[in-house]
Amino acid sequence: MNKPFKTYGNINPTKFRTALQTINGGKSATGTPIFPGTQTGLDIEQVREFIMNQKRASGFVFNQVIGSTSVQISLPGDARLLLGISFDTSTPGDTFDLTINNNKFLDNVSTYLHSGNVLLNAGFQNFVSYSQPLASKNSIQLVSRSTGAFLNTFTVYYI
């Protein structure tokens, strides 16, 4: 016979929320969670700064055609630093250009050496590191050249 859920283990949810409020100096309203990370002794601004400096990734799926494919990359306005890039798939001989804010950042570079499987098999992290400052409004253009047609994903890692 199923009983309605009233406790988790031996903990009464109401008493648990009350105890959390007491720990947090009564700042949290009943039934709302404490701001994540404040349990570690950090204040809300320190937690926000920690979250803001976390590595993030955005993937852009595109159809690679035989020849040249151009992809416009759009990152969030709070992206401040490009950490690196990677491709999902590639074949030897494929190349790409990456232009950031009208500056050709990478020119005629091997797509194959930036693909995830090659990097992981070589013992590297899942992307090739490039430190490049970003502005609040970025114009990023990827031009990929290939001898094959396939679905590919270009991933940008940033802070």
Average pLDDT, 10 consecutive residues per value, the chain (159 residues): 50 67 57 59 77 86 93 89 87 91 91 74 69 86 92 90
C-beta separation of 85 from 142 below 8 A = no
What distance in Å separates the CA atoms of residue 84 and residue 131, rounded to the nearest whole number? 7
List the domain range (segments joined by +) for residue 40: 13-27+34-52
Question: Vertex 119, ends 115 and 107: CA angle to 5°?
Answer: 50
pLDDT for the residue 38: 62
| Encoded tokens for 116 | 């995830």
pTM above 0.85, yes or no: no
The domain that contains 137 carries what CATH number?
2.60.120.730
Establish if 101 belongs to a structural domain. yes
Judge if 113 and 41 occupy the same domain.
Answer: no
What distance in Å separates the CA atoms of residue 36 and residue 132, rounded to the nearest whole number? 30
pLDDT for the residue 44: 75
